[in-house]
Amino acid sequence: MPRRLFIAEKPSLAKAIAEGLGKMSGKRPSRGQTHWEVGDDVVLWLFGHVIELVEPHDYDPNWKKWHIDYLPMYPKEWRHEPTTAYTDGKVDKEKTKAILGQVNACKALLRQADIVVNAGDPEREGQLLVDELLRFHNWDPFNDRTMRFWCQSLTENEVIKNITNMFPNAKKRNLYMAAFARQKADWLHGLNMTRLFTILARRSGADMTLSVGRVQTPTLWLVVARDREIANFKPVKHYMPSGWFNHQNGKFKAKWIIPADHPGLNPDGYLIDKAIADGVLAKIAGKQGVISEFETKNNSKGPPLPYKLSTLQQVCSAKFGLTAEQTLQVAQSLYEKHKATSYPRTDSQHLPVSVLKEQAPAIMAAMTATPGVNKAAQNATMTIKSKAWDDSKVSDHHGIIPTTEFHAGKLADMSPIERSVFMLIAKSFVAQFHPDQTWKSMTAIVKCEGLEFRASGRIPGSEGWRVVFDGETEEEDDGKEENQTVPPMKKGDGVTAEKGELKDSTTKPPAHFTDGTLIAAMTDIHKFVPDPEIKKRLKENAGIGTEATRAAILENLIRSRKFLKRDGKGKVKNIISTEAGRSVIDALPNEMTSPGLTAVWEAQLEKIEKGEFPEEQFMQVLHDTLRKRVANSKNLTIKIKGQSVEPMKGDGEPCKCGKGTMRTGVRFVGEKKERTIVLACDSYNKDDPNTCRNIVWPDRPKADPVPPAKGHGETCKKCGKGQMITMKSAKSGAIYLKCNNWKKDAPNNCDNFAFPEEKTGPKCEKCGKGHMRSIPIKNGPNAGKSFFSCSEYPACDNKSFPDDVKKGGGGKGGSGSDKGASKGGSKSPSGSKSKTPFTPGTRTNPFGKK
Do 683 and 735 belong together in one domain?
Answer: no
The SS3 call for residue 49 is: coil
> Considering only CA atoms, which of 706, 761, 735, 758 is closest in space to residue 847?
735
Q: Residue 811: left (phi > 0), alpha (psi -120 to 50), or beta?
A: left
Domain boundary among 456, 479, 506: 506
> Considering only CA atoms, which of 256, 227, 259, 232 is closest in space to residue 244?
256
Residue 629 in domain: no
Residue 746: the pLDDT is: 59
- Residue 435 CA: distances (Å) to CA of 287, 382, 473, 690, 725: 46, 11, 16, 78, 98
Do 521 and 405 belong together in one domain?
Answer: no
Domain boundary among 395, 410, 433: 433
Split at pLDDT 50, 70, 90, the class of 785 is confident
Residue 745: the pLDDT is: 57
* Alpha-carbon gap, residue 680 to 663, rounded angstroms: 5
Characterize the bridge pairing of strands 115-119 and 90-91.
unpaired
In sequence order, the 6+-apart residues with CB closer than 8 A to the CB of 203 are: 637, 638, 647, 651, 663, 664, 665
CB-neighbour burial class of residue 689 (10 A; exposed 0-12, middle 13-18, buried 19+): exposed
Q: Degrees (nearest 5) of the Cα angle 557, 559, 562?
A: 60
Reported as a single tens digit per residue, the pLDDT across 653-671 is: 899 888 888 888 887 776 6
Q: Which residue has the higher pLDDT, 482 or 99?
A: 99
* 588-625 CB burial, b ≥16 within 10 A, e <16: beeebbbbbbbbbbbebbebbbeeebebeebbeebeeb
* Alpha-carbon gap, residue 373 to 449, rounded angstroms: 55
CB-neighbour burial class of residue 297 (10 A; exposed 0-12, middle 13-18, buried 19+): exposed
What mean pLDDT do residues 347-355 have?
92
Domain boundary among 681, 700, 719: 700
Do 423 and 529 belong together in one domain?
Answer: no
Whether residue 222 has pLDDT greater than 80: yes
Characterize the bridge pairing of strands 724-728 and 735-739.
antiparallel
- Residue 163 CA: distances (Å) to CA of 16, 41, 358, 359: 11, 12, 18, 18
What mean pLDDT do residues 591-610 have?
87
What mean pLDDT do residues 390-399 have?
85
Do 741 and 806 belong together in one domain?
Answer: yes
For residue 276, what is the domain's CATH number?
Answer: 2.70.20.10
Residue 815: the pLDDT is: 35
Do 444 and 389 belong together in one domain?
Answer: no
Is the peptide bond prior to 72 cis by the omega test (within 30 degrees of 0)?
Answer: yes
How many domains in the chain? 6
Sign of the Cα torsion 810, 811, 813, 818 reads positive
Residue 209 in domain: no
Split at pLDDT 50, 70, 90, the class of 747 is low
Do 402 and 532 belong together in one domain?
Answer: no
One-character DSSP codes across 634-650: TT-----TTT--PPPTT
CB-neighbour burial class of residue 351 (10 A; exposed 0-12, middle 13-18, buried 19+): buried
Residue 770 in domain: yes
Look up the domain containing 680 and give its range: 645-700
* Alpha-carbon gap, residue 9 to 106, rounded angstroms: 13
Catalytic residue of the set 307, 335, 343, 736: 343
* Alpha-carbon gap, residue 82 to 571, rounded angstroms: 39
- Residue 204 CA: distances (Å) to CA of 367, 471, 640: 64, 59, 8
* Alpha-carbon gap, residue 46 to 286, rounded angstroms: 79
Split at pLDDT 50, 70, 90, the class of 835 is very low
What mean pLDDT do residues 411-423 have?
97
* Alpha-carbon gap, residue 461 to 441, rounded angstroms: 10
Residue 304 in domain: no
Do 313 and 394 belong together in one domain?
Answer: yes
Residue 475 in domain: yes
Residue 180 φ/ψ, nearest 5 degrees: -70, -40
Split at pLDDT 50, 70, 90, the class of 720 is confident
Split at pLDDT 50, 70, 90, the class of 1 is low
What mean pLDDT do residues 160-167 have?
95
Strand order in the sheet with 772-776: 772-776, 786-790, 799-800
Residue 806: the pLDDT is: 52
Q: Which residue has the higher pLDDT, 232 or 671?
A: 232
Do 293 and 428 belong together in one domain?
Answer: no
Residue 633 in domain: no
Reported as a single tens digit per residue, the pLDDT across 15-33 is: 999 999 999 999 999 999 9
* Alpha-carbon gap, residue 697 to 674, rounded angstroms: 13
Do 479 and 586 belong together in one domain?
Answer: no
Secondary structure, 3-state, 592-635: HHCCHHHHHHHHHHHHHHCCCCCHHHHHHHHHHHHHHHHHHHCC
* Alpha-carbon gap, residue 45 to 37, rounded angstroms: 12
The mean pLDDT value of the chain amounts to: 87
Split at pLDDT 50, 70, 90, the class of 421 is very high
Split at pLDDT 50, 70, 90, the class of 274 is very high
Q: Is 343 a catalytic residue?
A: yes
What mean pLDDT do residues 73-91 have?
90
Residue 112 in domain: yes
- To the nearest whole percent, how much of the chain has pLDDT over 90? 58
Split at pLDDT 50, 70, 90, the class of 758 is low
Split at pLDDT 50, 70, 90, the class of 839 is very low
For residue 536, what is the domain's CATH number?
Answer: 1.10.460.10
What mean pLDDT do residues 281-305 have?
96
Do 33 and 154 belong together in one domain?
Answer: yes
Do 662 and 753 belong together in one domain?
Answer: no
Do 38 and 111 belong together in one domain?
Answer: yes
Whether residue 845 has pLDDT greater than 60: no
- Find the range with the poorest average confidence among 628-632, 724-728, 801-805: 801-805
Residue 634 in domain: no
Residue 462: the pLDDT is: 94
The SS3 call for residue 764 is: coil
For residue 321, what is the domain's CATH number?
Answer: 1.10.290.10
Q: Which residue has the higher pLDDT, 82 or 714?
A: 82
